[in-house]
Amino acid sequence: MNLFLKINLFSILYAFVLFLALELGINVYRISDLLSLNLDAVMKIVTVLYIIGFITFSFLFFKIAKKWMEKRKSSIWSIILWFPYFILFTFIFARLFPVVNPGHDPGPGAGFVIIFAVFFYPFYLLIINVLGTGVGIKDG
């Protein structure tokens, strides 16, 4: 598989993981109504999914970076390219599943959480890429 395709697939995976995490957190009211569960139960389930997902995907990202990128500095592009895919996923989701019930709107602090996550996610990806590929680590 050529490098261009690998970087784009890796970027799509990066974007999808953050998209999924943020949408789970923002749509707890919808999930609660859809599954007829108590809101507290949904919040606990989402929290457990966050913890499991963080550990699982950190390990998965590390393994994929190690296998696909093989000490290439071009792996840094995946840290930049995830953002357009994230915007695309968010746009498609918003168009396919609009909020029709005003009670399902996220709380007032959700925007700050999204900004925080989108701002710090590239630093997390950089750490995973550096550890996975070994680029930037002195040998010896």
Asked if residue 54 is part of any domain, the answer here is: yes
| pLDDT tens digits along 78-93 | 889 999 999 999 999 9
Contact 76, 129 (CB under 8 A): yes
H/E stretch holding 61: helix 39-64
Residue 119, pLDDT score: 95
Asked if residue 140 is part of any domain, the answer here is: no
CA atoms in the 13 A half-sphere facing the CB of 39? 9
Measured distance CA(86)–CA(119) in Å, rounded = 13
Structure tokens at 88: 């695309």
Asked if residue 94 is part of any domain, the answer here is: yes
Asked if residue 139 is part of any domain, the answer here is: no
- Helix, strand, coil percentages (3-state) for the chain, rounded to 5, are 80, 0, 20
Measured distance CA(122)–CA(80) in Å, rounded = 8
Asked if residue 20 is part of any domain, the answer here is: yes
Asked if residue 138 is part of any domain, the answer here is: no
What's the chain's average pLDDT? 88
State how many domains the chain has.
1
| pLDDT tens digits along 13-45 | 999 999 999 999 999 999 999 999 999 999 999
**How long a stretch of residues is the chain?**
140
Question: What range does the domain containing 110 cover?
Answer: 3-133
